[in-house]
Amino acid sequence: MDTNMNMGTQMPTEKKSTGATISIIVIVLVLAFGAYYFLKQVPAGMDNGAVTESELQNDQVANALSTQGSSTDIADIQKDLDATDFSGIDAGLSDVTI
């Protein structure tokens, strides 16, 4: 047996690290603030469910395009081109900034 045992001294108690706990709390708060910020970025016009005139017009254009034929015959393609309205093709061009 070992006779050099310290009988009078106690083992030092471990100090609990509060740095890790504070770091976790800060990270959770930053993530919560980021989630709140990004959820508030939803445009107000999207929430009410009302259909605007431009959205209705876009749907009508999409419906008209879906009624075109799928034939590869030149005469059918020309008929589809003649039926397509290209008058508003550059309507959003003025909104583009370079």
The tokens 């047996």 sit on which residue? Answer: 1
> What is the C-alpha separation between 77 and 20, in angstroms, rounded?
68
Structural contact between residues 52 and 43, judged by C-beta atoms closer than 8 angstroms: no
Q: Say if pTM beats, i.e. exceeds, 0.75.
A: no
Task: Give the list of residues 6+ apart from residue 71 with CB closer than 8 angstroms, or none.
Answer: 77
Averaged in consecutive runs of 10 residues, what is the pLDDT profile of the chain (98 residues)? Answer: 59 74 94 90 60 63 70 86 77 74
